[in-house]
Structure 1
Amino acid sequence: MLTIEQIMRYHSKIDVPISPKKVGIELELFCINGQNNTIVPYQVIEDGISVQNLIGYLMAYKGFSISDFTKTFELKKGQTKITLEPGAQFEFCSAPHEYLTDLLRDLHIYNLTLQELADEFKVYWLDVSYFPVGKPSDVSLIPNPRYETMHNYFQRTGKLGRDIMCYTGSLQITFDYDSLQDLEEKVNRALLLKPIFLFLTANSRLREGKDTGLRSFRTITYRNTDSSRMGTPGSEEIWNSGRWTLLSYIQKVLKAPVMFSLREKYTYQETDNKAFDSFMEDSSLSDYLFHNSTIWTDIRVRQYFEIRYLDNPGIKLIPGIIILLYTLIYNPTLWSSFLKEIPYSFNEVPQVVDLLNTASEVSDDYWKNKLMEPFMTLTEHIQRNIEPSLSLSLDPIKDKIVNYKSSDDLLNLGNDKDILYYFKRNHYSIKI
């Protein structure tokens, strides 16, 4: 029998020795056929480019080997992994690193590998968080029982599950903690920062070639698909209480429907979608951890925690975003100083997120008059005090803080070809 106390003990890391604090990332990108500007499919029947071709190249020439193709189509090289999302988006999974310089070096090596694939197969990479043209139904799901079951489940819970699976990408950053108190302090910190960092990373304004009026349409796909396992990492009451707690998170996880059979692990059978807490009598901690892997809230807790609310801001901004969050999460003195400058309270976070996510004069004024100056001051302070090899990574952030409206140029792009050319020219496909 599994109890909440056992789950609390696991997440609280009571039996885990304190170790150096590490940081890791997961980064999702779209692979695009340079000949016809379509998403490269996992497999093709006739001659053509496929993700399978790229995988074969990575295995033959870059030292990757198959680690797991039953769950997420995983390739591994050392501690670095490449997995595939349901629509064949490439996901880079870094090793956890103690030092930012090591993490960013691994990211740079991965970028060079992707550039080599681009040159070899005449593809390019889009670092956006919602594919801006076409429809998710245009993309075939990877033939895999896990993804097929997910797709069937999402058909019952909302209208945008296919969008999440095939048309979205993100940047996720993972951090360590030492204890229950440390976890709750850091997660509350990360949630309070959501309006600022979603604003800075927002990179999914277009849908089907049209302006959604939102800086991050990706956030809407999650909000309108399955609230039981997405969105707030706990009860919505945390915003009224003014604080996130681990117990609130666990209670949400336990109330979420079981997506895959717990009795036949990794066969990904469909279930009748009863809440996990109805299985507690016959479940183990490993059953809970398996179920927890199907929870996609803004923050997900394991024996580390993942910030999952970020858009993929574009490759030029990613190093700076990592540096800023790393510093704010791990430096309590700097955090205490910046906290005094945040103009909204914890219980106002959802409203400020919505305000800043709407492309409007009201949103612009709020950023310009309340957040721009204190966040620029923070960024400049961090830039002056980090090692020189990292400082230049914050220049694109400073530019975004001031020129936050530059993405409005998308409104004048015209047809689908022009839109993709814009992203190809201004985003990832620039030579590294």
Structure 2
Amino acid sequence: MSTRVDGPKSLIIESRDELVGYLESGCKPPSDWRIGTEHEKFGFNVTDNSPVPYEGPRGIGALLEAHHNCFGWDAVRENGKIIALSCSDCPIGGSISLEPGGQFELSGAPLKTIHETEAELRQHLSQVGSVAHQLGIGFLGLGFSPKWTLDEIPVMPKDRYRIMMQYMPKRGSHGLDMMFRTATVQVNMDFSDEADMVRKLRVGLALQPVATALFASSPFTEGKLNGFQSYRAQMWQDTDPDRTGGLPFAFDDGMGFERYVDYALDVPMYFVYRDGRYIDVSGASFRDFLAGKLEAMPGLRPTIDDWADHLTTLFPEVRLKKFLEMRGADAGPFGLLLGLPALWAGLLYDKTSLDGAASLIASWTQEERDEMRLAVPRTGLATPFRGRTVRDLAREVLALAEGGLLRRAQRNDKGQDETHMLRPLMEIVESGRTEADRLIAAYEGPWKGNIDRLFESEAL
């Protein structure tokens, strides 16, 4: 989740049209399209596989400080505590931030090719790994915390999270699990105009369950098998119905930037950031804020920065900001982290592939889309769909993505195009064996039901 910092104040919003214009300002010609990859991971103490607290000489705060000192990334502080790092002048790098339970997130820079994404990811894991090793910290790439209870997980010192913690239980049973015990990989994609945005949004929403099945890696809860392929995705189904799900209205005639703005205006807010602090306005709508009718702050009117903040607190399967965020995948090992941008770049950044994907989903009903989304967390690739399975559908989707990457023809210095990034996903489809299946087999086999073996064998 993004981190707000103080800076020049943006102008007061005068009308709804400015909110629409904010989204519309993300339109770019294809030559300027970029790929931004974000991934989270769980830190753990290598001595006993316990979660890493923020405080202390071997805590998350110390890790951020060590990274800042060793590699010169700019420190972002809140109430005097370091909570994020940025590398604004790096060609690759982006920023590092903390999720509520200390999940360590790289928000990658917008890059032209997945080869650059690979270099960025290798740099990040090398830099973070070098300082983490000195502190006795390791990292796991999974969709859900495999061992720790909710009470065992530390809370990061970010005021916005404390506001969310108080509000989440009012709107679902698993909001706190989502905040503290899940980790994801997502990719941010550009669009050329409103029609292109709508087309990509619809393809992304319809095919997000396929990504969930392909990247499923969360079969454990508190040291035991939980019966799911992606327990992370299951948690999202009972987090907050006001701000999650598959956005049925996106498939209606007339969908566009204005329709998304109307949706966002009525999603309850969490906070307003003023004078270096987060003010709890949870439950109020941005529509009321626009009219100066916030009960907690009467007469206050929003700025564009407030609107940008609010958009980050919406959690649909595909989120619209000045770009589209594909949000359906569990975090995982290195190869799968690269597979997600390869999948979506191949589908969305090539006209032939996008045409094929749009044709594939064109006749699906909202009921079918919902049924697949709700079933996939448990049954994964084996989920039935229209007389076939999601595995069959995934094979077709990957073929479209591979064709798109071939036509992109972006080559690295070894002459490789981007298609090899899809290989781990193709192996999953051909074998029918997901990362979750592999972990389950290890747990039931050589690990003999000992979840601590996972930390030994699966650390990034």
Q: How does 1:208-219 map to 2 (within 5 A)?
A: 208-219=222-233
Q: Partner letter of residue 311 of structure 1?
A: D
2:7: which partner in 1? none
Question: 1:341-367 CA distances to partner (integer Å, 9 max, x unpaired)?
Answer: 569725222212233332279527943
Report the alpha carbon displacement of residue 40 of structure 1 after superposing the two structures with TM.
1.1
Q: How does 1:180-329 map to 2 (within 5 A)?
A: 180-232=194-246, 234=247, 236-238=248-250, 241=252, 245-261=256-272, 264=274, 266-271=276-281, 273-282=283-292, 283-286=301-304, 287-329=306-348
Is 1:157 the counterpart of 2:135? The answer is no
Q: Of residues 82, 97, 119 in structure 1, which corresponds to 2:96?
A: 82
Q: How does 1:95-134 map to 2 (within 5 A)?
A: 95-134=109-148
Contact residue 243 and residue 346 of structure 1 kept, 8 A: no
TM-score by length of 1: 0.87
Q: In the aligned structure 2, how far is the partner of 1:92 from the partner of 1:59?
A: 14
- Equivalent residues, number: 421
Q: How does 1:137-148 map to 2 (within 5 A)?
A: 137-148=151-162
Q: Partner letter of residue 211 of structure 2?
A: F
Q: In the aligned structure 2, how far is the partner of 1:256 from the partner of 1:319?
A: 32
Report the alpha carbon displacement of residue 376 of structure 1 after superposing the two structures with TM.
5.0
Q: Of residues 373, 389, 405 in structure 2, which corresponds to 1:353?
A: 373
Is 1:334 the counterpart of 2:334? The answer is no
> Which ranges of structure 1 fall in alignment gaps of 5 or more residues?
none
1:370: which partner in 2? 392
1:58: which partner in 2? 67
Report the alpha carbon displacement of residue 421 of structure 1 after superposing the two structures with TM.
2.0
Contact residue 224 and residue 451 of structure 2 kept, 8 A: no
Describe the shift of the 1:114–1:5 C-alpha distance in structure 2 as closer, same or farther (beyond 3 A). Answer: same
Q: In the aligned structure 2, how far is the partner of 1:14 from the partner of 1:136?
A: 38
Report the alpha carbon displacement of residue 173 of structure 1 after superposing the two structures with TM.
0.9
Question: 1:173-216 CA distances to partner (integer Å, 9 max, x unpaired)?
Answer: 11112222221121112112212111111222222223332221
**Root-mean-square deviation (CA), in Å?**
3.0
Q: In the aligned structure 2, how far is the partner of 1:285 from the partner of 1:89?
A: 30
Describe the shift of the 1:352–1:245 C-alpha distance in structure 2 as closer, same or farther (beyond 3 A). Answer: farther
Is 1:175 the counterpart of 2:189? The answer is yes
SS in 2 for 1:67: strand
Contact residue 356 and residue 364 of structure 1 kept, 8 A: no
The 10-residue stretch of structure 1 (380-389 or 246-255) with the greater mean CA deviation from structure 2: 380-389
Contact residue 215 and residue 359 of structure 1 kept, 8 A: yes
Q: Of residues 403, 416, 423 in structure 2, which corresponds to 1:395?
A: 423
Contact residue 212 and residue 380 of structure 2 kept, 8 A: no
Describe the shift of the 1:92–1:373 C-alpha distance in structure 2 as closer, same or farther (beyond 3 A). Answer: closer
> Which ranges of structure 2 fall in alignment gaps of 5 or more residues?
1-12, 293-300
Contact residue 194 and residue 349 of structure 1 kept, 8 A: no
Contact residue 410 and residue 419 of structure 1 kept, 8 A: no
Report the alpha carbon displacement of residue 33 of structure 1 after superposing the two structures with TM.
0.7
2:451: which partner in 1? 419
Describe the shift of the 1:297–1:411 C-alpha distance in structure 2 as closer, same or farther (beyond 3 A). Answer: same
Q: In the aligned structure 1, how far is the partner of 2:41 from the partner of 2:115?
A: 22
SS in 2 for 1:153: helix
SS in 2 for 1:183: helix
Q: Partner letter of residue 310 of structure 1?
A: A
TM-score by length of 2: 0.82
Contact residue 137 and residue 162 of structure 1 kept, 8 A: no
